Structure formats: C-alpha cells, structure tokens
Chains A and B, each alone.
Chain A
Amino acid sequence: MRIDKLLLKNYRQFKDLDISFLKKGENDLHVIIGKNGTGKTNILNSINWCLYGDEPHLSKESQQLPILNLNQISKIEEDEDKEVYAKLHLKTENGSCITVARKAVYRIYEGEKIPVLQKTEFEVCVPDAKGNVDIKKGEDAESFIERLVPKSIREFFFFDGERLDTYFKEATVQNIKHAIFLISQIDLLENKIEKRLKDFLSDLRKEAGKTNPNLESIRNKLEEEEENLRTHNKNEDEYQEQKTIAKKEIREIDEKLRGVPDVDALEVEKLGYKSDKKSAKNIKQEYMAKRTEALFKYGNYIMLWPALKNTIDTINEKREKKELPPPIDIRLLSGSLKEKVCELCGHDVDSKSEAQIKKLIEEIKLSPEDSKFLLDVEPLLHRIKLALSEYESDMKDLSHHIIKYEKELEEIEKKIGKIDKKLSGYKLEKVRSWHENRKIQEGQRDKYLQLIAEEKVRKMGCEEEIKKLKQEWEIGLKKEEKASKLRNDTGFCSKAHEIIKEAKEIIINEAREKIEEETQKLFFDLVWKSKTFKEINILETYDLELIHAMGYECLGSISAAERALLALSFTLALHDVSGFDSPLMIDTPVARVTDENRENLGKIFAKVGETKQIILLFTPNEYSKEISKILDMKSSSRRSCELSAGEIESSIKEL
C-alpha cells in the first residue's frame, strides 16, 4: 500500500495543502526538507490524525495550539462553523484506490476565543472489483483501517527518528514480540483462529460428553489440564517479562557505570596502601632512631678523640717502656721503705737500698689500681677507635635505608593520590548504590530464570497428560456410535487446531530468525564500527541481544547513535521480512547519525525505496551533502516546507 496524495484544509499550519507522492522512475522515495517549526512534523501528525484521530508527534508548542488553523480562527465569526479536514488517497498492492477522510467541525461562541469542537466525521471509501464504492463510516471505517494499518504497530511505519535511540531502552520483550506478531499476522493465527477453534472444540467436546458420563469425565479432566497449561504459559510469559525488565535494569546500570571506577575495589586497594604506608613509616622511624642513637654515641667519641688518642698513645708508650703492667707492686716498695725492711727478701734497708727503692718508686709511678684501670680501658679505647673507622659507612648505610623508605612512602602517597583522583567527582554513595542495585537485579534475573525453567517442566507434564487424555477421549468417542457426526466434527476441528498451532510455531521461529538475520545485515551495513560487533540475536524469548566481538552482550553500553541505527535496522527488517504492506514515513531520520555515516543510511533508504514507498522528513542540517548526494538522484519527489509571512501558515514547494 502507498500514499498517493494528502489533502489538508485548515489543519494547523496548513490552510490548503494538496501534495502528491507519485512514484517516478524506479524509486518510491520522497523527501521533504524543513526547519524545525515549519510544520514538517505536522505532516506526519496529519496522516496519524486522518487515520486514527490522534497526533502522537506534536511538539510542545503545537500541543498548546488548537488543531484549527490560526488564521481561520482569527477570521471566524461568531456561530460560524469551520472545518479541519484531512484526506488520504491510498493505493493497495492490487491497485485499488482507497480514500480515507476525517473532518472536525469547530465553532466559536460569543465571548469565547477558543473554537469548540462540534462534530467529527470519519469515512473510508473502498471500491470493489465491479467499480462500485463501499462507503464505510464510524466504527466500520475504523475497523477497516485497523486491518489495513493497525494502530498498535504504527510506530513501525510512521515514526520519529529522534525517539529511535530510546527504542530499545523502553521496548520490552512484549513490545518486540507484539510487533513481530502483528506485522507478520501471526496475531491472526494465535489470538483469533487458534483461540476460536479451541473454543469451538471445547463446545463440540461438551456436546460429545453429554452422550456418555465417562467421556464427560475425560473432557472435564482435559479442560482442566488445558487450563493448567494456559496458566503455566501465562506464568512463563510473565516471568520472561520480569527477567527482561531485570536485564534492562542491569543494562541501564551498566551504562551509568560505564567509565565509573569500581569504588569498593579501589577503597580496598587504598586501605592496602595505607597499611603499607604505616609499615614503611614505622621502619623509617626505626632507622631514624638508630641514626640518632649512633650520632649521640659516636658524637662523644668524635669530640673527645684527641683525648682518647692521647690516652691510647700514652698506654702504648708505657707498654713499650715496660711500665705497664708495672714489674713490681709499688706498695711493696713503699712498705719496705717505711719499715726499713725489704718485704721481698727480709733484709734491712740500708741507705744504699733506700736510694734504690726510692728510684724504683720514682720510675714506677702507677699504683696497681691505676695500672689495672688502664689495662681495662685499653681494649675499650681500641674498640672505640675501630668503631670510629666504621662511623661513616654506618651512617651512610642508615641514611640509605631512611631515603629508601622515604621514597617508598612517596610512591605509596602517589598511589593513594591516584585512587583519590579516580574517586573524586563521583558521589561514592550513589556509585555503591548502583553496584548494590545491580546485584539485586542480577538476583531477580536469576530468580526468574529459575522460575521459567520450573514452569517449562510443569508445562511438559501438562502436555503429556493432555496427550494421554486426548487418546482416551478418541478411544471413548469411537465407542459411541451415537456420536459419529460429533466425532467427525471434533476430529476435523482438532486436526485443524493442531495444524494451525504447528504452522504458527514454524512461522514464528522463521519470522524471528529472518528478522534477526535481516536486522544484523542492515545494522552491520549501517554501523561504522562493524568489527566491534559479532552478531545480533533475537532469542526465543524475544530478548534482543547485541554481541560484542569479544563475546559479551553489549546492548546497554552502545552509544545513542548506534542504538538508533539498531532500532532502524530492526524496523526495516520487520517490513522486509513480513512483507507488511504499508509505506514508511520517518521524521528526522538521521538526527543521531554523524555526517560520514549518513551516506550509508542514504543508501539503505534508497534501497528500501525500490520495493516500498518511503517518505523522509529532514531538517536542513540533516540533509547534508553526504545524504543529499544519494537521495537527490534517487528520490521521486523533493520538496521544502516553509513558513509564510506572519509565520502562522506553511506551504510545501517543489525543489
């Protein structure tokens, strides 16, 4: 399906707009370029309003303004009606032309400035094969549009490029699953046919059960088990959802923690350094005390050295003269003189002997006590002399150790400083709370993984029981001759139900796999760091994973631009794989993408335009040369959106 034409009357900035999107050449790509505020986004809003009656992309300014064109409001007279009108001419794949028109009538009452809505009309005209036109109004028209372009998935064909980077933040497993189901029409199989056939089967079984109480008992048990299975499925879905939420929280926390240091680990490291610092300080102080002690002890020796040396020399001299140790005890000589008798030989001391004794006393001079003192201090003095010879090297050694520990302390201080620097600027409590929250979310994720596994086991049990009961039912039904028609109908309905279930499972998996493959292909074509990423996975649970080349999941840590490209790739893949028949309209498609990668994006858009209508609304900044050089050549139409004089109305001009 494509948009042939859009007509607007009195819709916001557009007093009178008649714009065709005819395909010229091979490419159904259309470009509108306009600054912010010129009404470019309101073109998208007008299409939404026409189809669904709402305007999901209104700017804050537009939200304050009425939908009726301001110039018309100024001209409107009291009790006069003015219409806001939007009409779309659509063409389906088989060539049918459908028109969709919405009208809202406003009136200004006396004394009022704001127009009041009087009525709305909504009409869809659908031609049949014979050329007759079926005019649908109100609910009928809405149902028709819902089948054609379902409102619940419109974000996959009419969307705002600036919201793309938040898509995977806000998208849950259910959103992605819902999008795939609706766009591939799996929704039709699961929620309509499968469900309704099941109800029908249940009614047929009830009727069959009335023929035989045994059959009724089997039927009741079967219904009970089927109900249990539904419950387990529902539980599993809910746990999947909760698990995805937990994973999303973890991703968001990882994004917050990106670049943030591991605070606890750093604090532990810092404590280690503080302990090392204390040890080094203690050792240094020990060496300093040793040095002070050495200075004190050696200091006295050094200052007294002349006296000490003199004493050593004197002792040596006495030794050489054999005066030390003295040959005779001087007290013997003194005693002999006093008693006038020699204490050694006992002879009388005559004058000659007296003179000899006096001479000896004169020569000896030192008392035994004094000699002993000198002999005792002699080794001490020599030790002091030796110690002094080692003084300088001892002091050097001590200084060397002190310097070594000073340097070590400096290094430790630097390390502590580095940690403090890393931690500064971060609110440590907040970072810790993120880490704690992450642990909690990991716990939640693991808890739900466990619960999912348990539900799977219970489901298997139910399925086995159901299979058994169905067999009993078949056997029981065969025995009932009265129920031959019922048996036939039940068999038919049951088989149809099985087939639709099996077909649905295959289509779901294939759709998921194909979308995964196509998303990956498109993303790697678009992204500039293609070697950084290894693959994209859309799991059976509809979790989307982006795997880094190093093997870990990295969706939470990619940039806003990369996230936008991923969302765009996913959307384009959805369209491509499902063959979903709707045009694609994107407002500000390259808002998050830098210049050099716009060329890639331009090529992708041009390629999409070969098989599907694509309408792109750019700001002049977005439509840089990288993208214009591709799209100028490929586009079927290029227009500008400009504000006219008075800045209340806009117009579209061909470029």
Chain B
Amino acid sequence: MSKTKINPEIIKWVKEKAKSDEKISDFLLDLIYEEAEHAGHWWWKETYKKKLEEYSKEWKEENEN
C-alpha cells in the first residue's frame, strides 16, 4: 500500500522539537503515518496503546542506560 504523503514541515518540526528524544520522535511519526492512512473512523485506541507500549518501553530502557 502506498503511503499517503505527509507535509514535510510536520516531519521536520516533530523531529526538531523531539530533539535527542528519538523514540518519541519515531513514536509520533509512526502515529502520523497511521492517522494519514486511516481517514474517518478506525480503531485507533488499540494501535495507540500498542505503539505506546512499544516505544515507551524502549524509551525507558534508553533512559536507564
């Protein structure tokens, strides 16, 4: 499936604001692409929960290290 085009400014500023926090940046970009792919109603909570679990765990590990 082709990915919907994202406004490059959005990608630029999310990365910029996340600064060194790559996990958060990746998490947000992942969500952005998901949202772009799904117009209208979709089961977003499941996806958000899954991605949050995944990225926050990695984020915690990074912080501990």
The judgment on whether A and B are partners is: yes
A146: Cβ under 8 A from any B Cβ: yes
A193 and B27 contacting across the interface, CB-CB below 8 Å: no
B7 and A184 contacting across the interface, CB-CB below 8 Å: yes
- The CA of A93 and the CA of B28, in the complex, are separated in Å by 24
Q: Which of A94, A150, A189, A196 contacts B2 (CB 8 A)?
A: A94
The verdict on A93 contacting B1 (CB below 8 Å), with A496-B28, A507-B13 known, is no
Q: Which of B7, B16, B35 contacts A579 (CB 8 A)?
A: B7
Which of B2, B6, B38, B60 is the most central at the interface, judged by chain A CB atoms within 10 Å of its CB? B2
Taking CB as reference atom, which chain B residue is nearest A95? B2
User: What's the nearest-Cβ distance from chain A to residue B60, in Å?
Assistant: 5
User: What's the nearest-Cβ distance from chain A to residue B24, in Å?
Assistant: 5
User: What's the nearest-Cβ distance from chain A to residue B23, in Å?
Assistant: 8
Q: Which of B9, B24, B35, B39 contacts A510 (CB 8 A)?
A: B9
B40 and A503 contacting across the interface, CB-CB below 8 Å: no
A581 and B35 contacting across the interface, CB-CB below 8 Å: no
Residue numbers in A under 8 Å from B13 (CB-CB) = 503, 506-507
Residue numbers in A under 8 Å from B21 (CB-CB) = 495, 499
A579 and B8 contacting across the interface, CB-CB below 8 Å: yes
User: What's the nearest-Cβ distance from chain A to residue B41, in Å?
Assistant: 9
The verdict on A496 contacting B27 (CB below 8 Å), with A143-B38, A146-B40 known, is yes
A147: Cβ under 8 A from any B Cβ: yes
Residue numbers in B under 8 Å from A17 (CB-CB) = none
A318: Cβ under 8 A from any B Cβ: no
A390: Cβ under 8 A from any B Cβ: no
A128 and B9 contacting across the interface, CB-CB below 8 Å: no
- The CA of A184 and the CA of B13, in the complex, are separated in Å by 13
Which of B8, B10, B25, B52 is the most central at the interface, judged by chain A CB atoms within 10 Å of its CB? B10
- The CA of A185 and the CA of B4, in the complex, are separated in Å by 11
- The CA of A502 and the CA of B18, in the complex, are separated in Å by 10
A126: Cβ under 8 A from any B Cβ: yes
- The CA of A143 and the CA of B38, in the complex, are separated in Å by 7
Residue numbers in A under 8 Å from B56 (CB-CB) = 488-489, 492-493
A192 and B10 contacting across the interface, CB-CB below 8 Å: no
- The CA of A493 and the CA of B14, in the complex, are separated in Å by 14
Q: Which of B42-63 contact A (CB under 8 A)?
A: 44-45, 48-49, 52-53, 55-56, 59-60
A139 and B40 contacting across the interface, CB-CB below 8 Å: yes
B31 and A146 contacting across the interface, CB-CB below 8 Å: no
User: What's the nearest-Cβ distance from chain B to residue A132, in Å?
Assistant: 10
- The CA of A322 and the CA of B50, in the complex, are separated in Å by 149
- The CA of A503 and the CA of B13, in the complex, are separated in Å by 5
Residue numbers in B under 8 Å from A262 (CB-CB) = none
Q: Which of A134, A144, A496, A511 contacts B39 (CB 8 A)?
A: A144
- The CA of A229 and the CA of B65, in the complex, are separated in Å by 38
User: What's the nearest-Cβ distance from chain B to residue A599, in Å?
Assistant: 33
Residue numbers in A under 8 Å from B9 (CB-CB) = 184, 507, 510-511
- The CA of A506 and the CA of B17, in the complex, are separated in Å by 10
A200: Cβ under 8 A from any B Cβ: yes
A532: Cβ under 8 A from any B Cβ: no
A185 and B2 contacting across the interface, CB-CB below 8 Å: no
The verdict on A96 contacting B2 (CB below 8 Å), with A147-B39, A495-B24 known, is yes
A324: Cβ under 8 A from any B Cβ: no
Residue numbers in B under 8 Å from A193 (CB-CB) = 28, 31-32, 35
User: What's the nearest-Cβ distance from chain A to residue B49, in Å?
Assistant: 8
- The CA of A142 and the CA of B40, in the complex, are separated in Å by 9
Residue positions of B touching A, CB distance < 8 A: 1-2, 4-10, 13-14, 16-18, 21, 23-25, 27-28, 31-32, 35-40, 44-45, 48-49, 52-53, 55-56, 59-60
A sample of 23 cross-chain residue pairs with beta-carbon separation below 8 angstroms, ordered by A number, consists of A128-B1, A143-B39, A147-B37, A148-B4, A150-B39, A185-B6, A185-B7, A186-B10, A193-B28, A193-B31, A200-B48, A488-B56, A488-B59, A488-B60, A492-B60, A495-B24, A499-B18, A502-B17, A506-B13, A506-B17, A507-B13, A579-B7, A581-B5
Other than A495-B21, A507-B10, give 4 A-B pairs with Cβ distance below 8 A: A96-B2, A147-B38, A492-B56, A496-B28
Q: What are the 10 closest A-B residue pairs judged by CB atoms, nearest first? A: A492-B56, A503-B13, A147-B39, A146-B39, A143-B40, A143-B39, A499-B17, A185-B7, A96-B2, A192-B35
